[in-house]
Structure 1
Amino acid sequence: MLSVGSIVIRCSDLDRQLLFWTAALDYEPRVPLDEGFALLRPRSGEGPNVSLDAVPSERILPPRIHLDLYADDQAAEVDRLESLGALRVHWPKRPRGADYVIMEDPEGNRFCVVDAAPGDAA
C-alpha cells in the first residue's frame, strides 16, 4: 500500500518559505532543521507533510503539479494568505463561477484555494 508522505517544494529562500508555509498551513517544522531542507508536519497530526528543499530550479508555467488547498471560508483564507505574502494569479481561461482561486507563494510556486464550504462539492 502507498500513501502520500510528503509533498516537496523546491525553493531558493528556505527561511522565507518556511515562514510562509508554516503560517499558511498551520504546520510545524521537524526540529532540528537540516541544512537546506525542512520537513513541515501538520500540528493536528492529520494530512501529508510538506517539505522545503533549498535547491533552486527553473520555474515553468503552467506548473506540472500544484497543491489544491481546501477552505471552508475561501474569501477569508485568500485574504489571510495574501497577508502572508501570497499573490493572486490572473488566468484568462479560468471558467466563470470556478470554485478555486489561483495563487502563488512568495517564490512563485502556484497553488489553488478551493471553496470547500459545507454543502459544496469539492
Structure 2
Amino acid sequence: MLVVGSIVIRVADLHAQLAFWTAALDYVAREPIDVDFALLRSRSGAGPNVSLDAHPSERVLPPRIHLDLYAEDQRAEVARLEALGAEVVPWDKQPDDADYVIMQDPEGNRFCVIDAAGWDGFVRHRVARA
C-alpha cells in the first residue's frame, strides 16, 4: 500500500521559502537542513510532509499540480498568508460561488485556499485552471 509521504515544491531561495511555508502551514523543518533541500512536517503529525527542493525549475501556468489548503476561516487564512508574502491570483473564469481562492507563494508557486467550514470531509470545489 502506498501513502503520500511528502509533496515536493521546487524553490529558488530555500531559506525564504522555508520561512514562508513553515509559517503558512505551522510545520517544522527536520534538522539538519541541507544546502538545497528541506523536509517540513506537521507539528501535530497530521497530513503529508512538504519538502522544499532548491533546484532551478521552469514555471508552468497553469501548474500541473498544486496544493489545496483547507481552511475553517478562509478569509482569515487568506489575510494571514498575504501578510506572510503570498498573493491572491486573479482569474477571470473563477465562478462567483467558488469555494476557493487561488494564491501564490512569494516565488509564484500556486495553491488554493479552500473554504472548508461545515464540510463533511469531502472535496467539493471545482478544479482551478488559473
Provide TM-score, normalisation by structure 1. Answer: 0.97
Match for 2:70: what amino acid? Y
**1:36, 1:9 → 2: CA distance?**
12
Structure 2 equivalent of residue 67 of structure 1 = 67
Structure 1 equivalent of residue 40 of structure 2 = 40
**1:77, 1:28 → 2: CA distance?**
19
Structure 2 residue runs without a partner (length 5+)? 124-130
Structure 2 equivalent of residue 85 of structure 1 = 85
**2:12, 2:44 → 1: CA distance?**
28
- Large movers: runs of 4+ above 3 Å: 119-122
Structure 1 residue runs without a partner (length 5+)? none
RMSD: 1.1
Structure 1 equivalent of residue 13 of structure 2 = 13
**2:72, 2:91 → 1: CA distance?**
23
- Aligned-pair identity in percent equals 73
Q: Does 1:52 align with 2:52?
A: yes
Provide TM-score, normalisation by structure 2. Answer: 0.91
